[in-house]
Amino acid sequence: MNPHKGGIDIMQNEVNIQTTRRYDPGILRPVIAGRRGYYFLKRTADIALAGFLLIVLSPIMSLIAVAIYLYSPGPIFFSQERVGARRIRMGGRQYWRQETFRCHKFRTMKINADSSVHKDYVQALIQNDQKRMFEIQGEDTQVRKLLNDPRIIQPGKFLRKFSLDELPQLWNVLHGEMSMIGPRPAIPYEVEIYKSWHYRRLEAQPGITGLQQVKARCTTDFDAQVKFDIEYVDNQSLWLDAKIALLTPLAVLSGRGAG
């Protein structure tokens, strides 16, 4: 079950409204020196772990696919443009080059769902406009995520709560677009309204899980979430990755901060 392969009723691609972007997709940011060995070992671990999990979890992923189709006939997967980073060498030095890629998930929303409400909520979240977030949510909540979204299909609520909708991202890891561990992959219309210091969270390959997910998981404001990502960017190591990997199942099973 590979979402990179096209087919009828398999993949739903998000249609984005073209906007004038404030960021340069090819922007270069220096890689912190002394991490060449770390990145090699991390990539090796990513390939091994993603491949292993795809094999072990394939029965569960098949059941999820059936459940989605039964409740909402149509594409099983959802593909959305995200902003990531790739290491390149130039002039004897390594840099992070900002680039976009297609991030895969199990479809948890109705087909052709309107994204305008989510865009409004993301803008309010980044600006920490609590009044606007309350207006969109319709309730006061500590979870910094769009809840009670009418676009979500019935199985989607369960899949999102336990992050099962993100399992197809294992294919993104194998393709080298993501890592098992790193900052959450950003949406382009989110990056367009970043504060200047928010861009530092893009100085690493995005991950399926990360420091922010195990420490806060949408229970803090956006600035605090970004600070967790920057903390990871500045302190990447195999030990930190192992610690995050061990904490991830506990964070997922708790359901804390999930939509």
List the domain boundaries for the chain: 11-15+24-252
Q: pTM for this structure?
A: 0.84
The widest CA-to-CA distance across the chain, in whole angstroms, is 54
First-to-last alpha carbon distance for the chain, in angstroms, is 26
Query: What is d(CA 43, CA 58) in angstroms, rounded to the nearest whole number?
Result: 22
- The pLDDT assigned to 116 comes to 82
Beta-carbon contacts of residue 110 (< 8 Å; ≥ 6 apart): 72, 151, 152, 153
pLDDT at residue 27 above 70?
A: no
Nearest-angstrom CA–CA distance, 257 and 120: 20
CA distance linking residue 251 with residue 216, whole number of Å: 9
Q: Flag whether pLDDT at 26 surpasses 60.
A: no
Q: For strand 77-90 and strand 93-106, is the pairing parallel, antiparallel, or unpaired?
A: antiparallel
Neighbour-count burial of 20, counting CB atoms closer than 10 A to its CB (0-12 exposed, 13-18 middle, 19+ buried): exposed
Quick one: pLDDT at residue 4? 64
pLDDT digits (tens, 9 = 90+) for 95-126: 888 899 999 999 998 887 777 878 888 888 88
pLDDT computed for residue 122 by the predictor: 85
Of 47-51, 52-56, 215-219, 235-239, least confident by mean pLDDT is: 215-219
Nearest in space to 199 (alpha carbons), one of 230, 244, 161, 162: 230
- Give residue 214's pLDDT: 92
Taking alpha carbons only, the member of 253, 228, 73 closest to residue 164 is 253
Per-residue pLDDT of 222-234, as tens digits, reads 999 999 999 999 9
Contact 215, 228 (CB under 8 A): yes
C-alpha–C-alpha distance, residues 57 and 79, integer Å? 20
* Whole-number pLDDT of residue 62: 97
**What pLDDT is stored for residue 143 in this prediction?**
56
**Please, which residues have CB within 8 angstroms of residue 141's CB and are 6 or more apart in sequence?**
147
